[in-house]
Amino acid sequence: MMSAADSSVIWTHPYPQSTPLEAFRRYVNATHSLDLKSYNDLHTWSVTSIEHFAAAVWTFCGIKYSVPPTTIATGLDKMWPPPRWFPGARMNYTENILSFGLDSRPDAIAITAVKEGLQDVKQFTFLELKEQVAVWATTLKKFGVRVGDRIA
């Protein structure tokens, strides 16, 4: 097994200041009166202010829901069972993932995929991702998969 010290970076964003993560860091600073200067600062805040971090992610991402959560999380005080995040909320994960870019930037890159050990970088736009999701959704319905089913 390779250790973190043995690993090497396989890809770096050419314009890191333009990434959604950077926009989120600036949002957190503005909404929580913080001065997080780096990813490491943001990470530290995320693990020391877990509920504030989770609420900030929910709001920043503009999560669409039919029923709001009753609270941010329950069970953060113990390791088992795992915490329950946003209990009571009802939402469609696919709708939330796709609407992020489809609403305003359908031709923007939604996913950048790089397989370990390969140099080939594949990118998919939000529109391409929506089309692929539609194909898979149709296929799953043909096999009888319904709302609430889980697929391994």
Which of 67, 26, 28, 27 is CA-nearest to residue 45? 28
Q: In the structure encoding, which two tokens stand for residue 56, read together?
A: 């900030």
Residues 73 and 111 in one domain: no
What's the number of domains the chain is made of?
2
Q: Is cis: bond before 16, omega within 30 of 0?
A: no
Residue 101's domain spans which residues?
92-136
Q: In the structure encoding, which two tokens stand for residue 102, read together?
A: 């489809």
Evaluate whether residue 42 is within a structural domain: yes
Residue 135 CA to residue 131 CA, distance in Å, equals: 6
Q: What is the pLDDT along the chain (152 residues), one digit of tens a residue?
A: 556 566 788 888 889 888 989 999 999 999 999 999 999 999 999 999 999 999 999 999 899 999 999 999 999 988 799 999 999 999 988 888 888 778 788 999 988 988 888 788 999 999 999 899 899 999 999 999 998 898 88
Evaluate whether residue 97 is within a structural domain: yes
Residue 68 CA to residue 80 CA, distance in Å, equals: 25
pTM for this one?
0.66
